[in-house]
């Protein structure tokens, strides 16, 4: 089964919507050959200044395609990231509190299958 990773973190109230943090993590995961869902990519067609709920509805749909969720620093202060993390947990999507913990879990799985 292919893993599909959702990146969740603070956007609202951050300079440029915290795009750089999302971009760096997304690029690192894609470089490992993983499928990644980045809100800044899949919401790019939503007009700037649209209601928060419009973005969240799109995010929740995309989250449902995923096997894992990685939380970016500062996620605890984001209403949207809280919702995504809670929903993922309730639906059996593996939640990783940091990119490093996700990478550790990948390494362990690879060692076990070797």
Phi-psi region of 44 (alpha: psi -120 to 50; beta: other; left: phi over 0): alpha
**With contact defined as beta carbons under 8 Å apart, do 25 and 86 qualify?**
no
Which among 66, 113, 74 has a CA at the least distance from the CA of 94?
66
Structure confidence at residue 1 (pLDDT):
61
Q: Mean pLDDT throughout 14-20?
A: 90
First to last CA, the chain: 17
Which range marks the domain in which residue 56 is found? Answer: 4-113
- Total residue count of the chain as it appears in this document: 114
Strand stretches in the chain, DSSP E = 4-8, 35-37, 68-71, 94-96
pTM of the model: 0.92
**3-state DSSP call for residue 50?**
coil
| pLDDT higher than 90, residue 19 | yes
Q: What is the DSSP letter of 93?
A: P
| pLDDT higher than 80, residue 21 | yes
Kindly report the CATH number assigned to the domain that includes residue 63: 3.40.50.450
In the chain, the number of structural domains is: 1
Q: Mean pLDDT throughout 49-64?
A: 96
Q: Mean pLDDT throughout 18-46?
A: 96
């Amino acid at each position: 089964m292919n893993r599909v990773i959702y990146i969740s973190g603070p956007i609202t109230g951050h300079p440029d919507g915290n795009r750089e943090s999302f971009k760096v993590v997304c690029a690192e995961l894609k470089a490992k050959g993983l499928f990644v869902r980045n809100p800044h990519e899949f919401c790019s067609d939503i007009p700037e200044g649209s209601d928060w709920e419009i973005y969240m509805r799109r995010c929740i749909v995309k989250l449902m395609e995923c096997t894992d969720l990685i939380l970016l620093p500062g996620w605890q202060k984001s209403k949207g990231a809280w919702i995504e993390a809670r929903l993922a947990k309730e639906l059996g999507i593996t939640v990783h509190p940091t990119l490093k913990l996700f990478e550790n879990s990948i390494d362990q799985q690879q060692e076990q299958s070797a």
